[in-house]
Amino acid sequence: MTQLALVIDLNVCVGCHACVTSCKQWNTSGDAGPLPDDNPYGANPTGVFFNRVQTYEVGKFPNTETIHFPKSCLHCEDAPCVPVCPTGASYKRKEDGIVLVDYDKCIGCKYCSWACPYGAREFDEHDKVMKKCTLCVDRIYDQNLPETERKPACVMACPPGARLFGDIHDPDSEVSSAIREQGGFALMPELGTQPSNHYLPRHKRKIPIHEDELVRVDSPLAKEEKKDYDEGSASLEDSASW
């Protein structure tokens, strides 16, 4: 069985919100209609987003570290939002494990959002239905797109490549090996929802540099004398050591 999911590398995420804006752009332009933005240029802009990047500070000043934390629907394997839905509008696809809302069946009772511990669902006050991340289901199977682009919009947009997308039930997939080899973890594991999306932990990267590596043995400057230019007229090209 397939379970599509995102794996987000917290060690790579720089908190640029590119995934947030590309998600919004893609999902507000689709067949399901726009995602609302109320008061976008006012004092209190509000709207529906499927994905948000939050920031946390870990440690005590001055020894603090920043964690940028993108949060969207985790497409739980045991999704608590699905069985509570009274209409069957909220469902988990058998074929790929994506949790979706049928906007034509949703009565807008909001019960599913109460049942989601992650706050992944947002109610659309204009369409009066519950909305959530679709894992870009209208994109990842689109035969008109080149195969390399059949990925969620957030994954496509992430500049440092912090977001991986794939089947976590396939042990040979990129996401599975990332989870396995880099200590991928789930959010609120104590609740037993078995989130499909995983996060790769922050860790400190250290590059061991020995002193002899700091000075190039074959540095041209070591062989040639330092040139003496007129500081006023010298350009970058004049001072380059080629």
Residues of this chain that bind other proteins (CB under 8 A): 17, 20, 39, 42-49, 52-60, 66-67, 69, 71, 80, 82-89, 105-111, 113-119, 121-123, 125, 127-129, 185-191, 199, 201-202
In this structure, are residues 108 and 21 in contact, taking their beta carbons and an 8 Å threshold?
no
- Nearest approach, Cβ of 148 to other proteins (angstroms)? 28
Residue among 119 and 160 whose Cβ is closer to other proteins: 119
In three-state secondary structure terms, 46 is: strand
Shortest CB 115 distance to other proteins, Å: 6
**Minimum separation from the CB atom of position 181 to other proteins (A):** 17
Contact between 113 and 89 under an 8 Å Cβ cutoff? The reply is no
In the complex, the smallest distance separating the C-beta of residue 26 from other proteins, rounded to whole angstroms, is 18
DSSP code, position 67: E
| Residue with smaller CB distance to other proteins, 113 or 177 | 113
Residue reference for tokens 């035969």: 143
Three-state secondary structure call for residue 179: helix
Provide the terminal-to-terminal Cα distance of the chain, rounded to the nearest Å: 59
> How far from the centroid of its chain's Cα atoms is residue 229's Cα?
50
Residue whose structure tokens are 């496509």:
156
- Closer of 105 and 180 to other proteins (Cβ): 105
Q: At closest approach, how far in Å is the CB of 19 from other proteins? A: 11
Find all residues with CB under 8 Å of 83, minimum gap 6, and list them: none
Nearer to other proteins, 124 or 140 (CB): 124
Rg (CA), the chain: 24
Q: Judged by CB, which is closer to other proteins: 106, or 140?
A: 106
